[in-house]
Structures are given as structure tokens and as C-alpha cells.
Amino acid sequence: MSDAPPKLAFDDNEYLPAIAQDADSGEVLMLAYVTPEALERTRETGRAHYYSRSRDELWEKGATSGHTQHVEEIRVDCDGDTLLYLIDQEGGACHTGHRSCFYRTIDGDVVGEKVFDPEDVYDE
């Protein structure tokens, strides 16, 4: 049984936070923001697209690094103001080379796995 699609509550800047979670393991990999256009592109292509607030541009996850996110399902929270992308992650999700952006504790202990060297991937 399917209800009507939920109304999405984009903020005044037309952003919604989107949590990327590994569809198999449940590991939270990253949080980024989407605009209506980024969400539309994600739904059209099956690959995660986000909006960079610092660069003021739409981007496809993995377009530069090759570490893409294939979206298996998109869920919406009860208030319609947060998305959950259940994904199949190719390579690392974090630009630092870690599998997850949540690779440190609040005390600075590294608890996550580094899966690639960013210097080999990005021109920084």
C-alpha cells in the first residue's frame, strides 16, 4: 500500500540535508545537502547528486574521484525535512580518504578505515 508522496520541507535556501547510509551494513557514510535539482538528478540517474554550499554548485558524488554512490532507495523523515539515501558506495565516501566522513571520535581518536590516498585522487 502506498500513501501520497511526502511533501518535502526545503528550507528558505532550498536545501535539505541528506544522510548517505550503506544499504547493506547500515554504516552512516556522510551528510550533505540537496536542492530540488540535485534530488531530481539523483532520481533520474540513480547516482547521488548533492549541492555544495561552499562552492555554490551541484555535484555528482564520485565524478572526480570515481568513488560513486549508487542510490538504492531514498527515504524521507517524518517531518519531510531530511532525506536518507540508502546507497552502494564505491570506494571511500570521505574526501579525506576514509570510508566514512564520521571516522573520528569527539576526542580526535581515528576509528574509521582509510581506503584511499586523497593525493592520488584530487588536485589539491
| 120 has binding-site annotation | no
For residue 57, give the H/E element and its range. strand 57-60
Question: Is residue 123 part of an annotated ligand binding site?
Answer: no
In Å, the largest CA–CA distance within the chain is 49
Using DSSP bridges, classify how beta strands 49-52 and 57-60 pair: parallel, antiparallel or unpaired.
Answer: antiparallel
Determine how β-strand 83-89 pairs with β-strand 69-76: antiparallel
What is the C-alpha separation between 25 and 61, in angstroms, rounded? 20
22 belongs to an annotated ligand binding site: no
| 77 assigned ligand-binding residue | yes
Tell whether 81 is in a known binding site. yes
C-alpha cell at 82: 531530511
Q: Is 3 annotated in some ligand binding site?
A: no
Contact 92, 64 (CB under 8 A): no
Query: Residues annotated in the binding site for Mg(2+), as ranges?
Result: 77, 79, 81
Query: Residues annotated in the binding site, as ranges?
Result: 77-79, 81, 94, 101
Query: Residues annotated in the binding site for Zn(2+), as ranges?
Result: 78, 94, 101
